[in-house]
Amino acid sequence: MTSVLVIDDHPIVLQGCARLLEDAGVEKVLTASSVISGYRQFRREKPDVVIVDLALHGNGLSGLMLVRRLRSQSARTPILVFSMHGDPVIASRALEAGATGYVLKDTSSGGLIDAFEKVRRGQPYLSHELALQVAMLGRSAGSANLADVTPRELQAISLLAEGKTYTQIADELGISYKTVANTCSQLKAKLGATSLPELIRRSIQYVSSSPGAAAR
């Protein structure tokens, strides 16, 4: 049974999001309207997925603090940020805080469910347009470190940019999960990435600026 915790202080948004998830077949939808109640429910209920707004109670980006606290409690629970902010800097900060995905509140119902399904499976999610904007933020930082990337690592970069999980990359390349994990660890060092979301952003950046990379 899949359980989801939705944290948002706008009652209409909270109820609408919960209804969409229930209509999509989610068996257990929990709701919270503040940072404190959301954090307490997370620790008590241990949901499979968390969907959280960034501007809880209109307090700037207080949701970022909550994302960090949730991630400190669980390294694996998928966290989908559901936000009105389309600024790539804010999206980047959310990913750095530990979010698995980032979706805008003006997206369609189908878009929200698609984002939810991807993060539920452990895949990162950003809309294509926002992903490219986020990637451009680190263009100069990532481009200087690619000279010693191997052909196998280039394949991994391409698949990471497509949103593939470690398991999917292992299946597609015919290698073990451990080999993929080791390859990505090496890529983090080479590209100066400190987290998986940052590595994914730089992979998107590299693929978008070097169309022939995956074929090398």
**pLDDT at position 137:** 66
CA distance linking residue 43 with residue 74, whole number of Å: 9
CA distance linking residue 147 with residue 119, whole number of Å: 32
Largest CA distance in the chain: 51
Domain 138-215, what fold?
Arc Repressor Mutant, subunit A (1.10.10)
Three-state DSSP string of 138-193: CHHHHHCCCCCCCHHHHHHHHHHHCCCCHHHHHHHHCCCHHHHHHHHHHHHHHHCC
- DSSP state, 105? T
CA distance linking residue 121 with residue 116, whole number of Å: 9
28 forms beta bridges with 3
**pLDDT at position 43:** 96
Provide Rg for the chain, Cα atoms.
Answer: 17
104 forms beta bridges with 83
Is residue 54 within 8 Å of 90, Cβ to Cβ? yes
- Each of the 216 residues of the chain gets a pLDDT tens digit; together they read 899 999 999 999 999 999 999 999 999 999 999 989 999 999 999 999 999 998 876 445 578 889 999 999 999 999 999 998 888 878 888 888 899 999 999 999 999 999 999 999 988 899 878 887 777 665 544 444 455 677 778 788 878 877 788 898 998 888 999 999 999 988 888 877 888 888 887 777 666 555 444 333
CATH class of 3-134: alpha beta
The whole-model pTM stands at: 0.66
Phi first, then psi: give them for residue 40, nearest 5 degrees: -65, -45
Q: How far is CA 163 from CA 18, 31, 122, 133, 166, in A?
A: 26, 28, 10, 16, 10
- Spell out the domain ranges in the chain: 3-134, 138-215
Dihedral sign (CA 179, 206, 107, 102) = positive
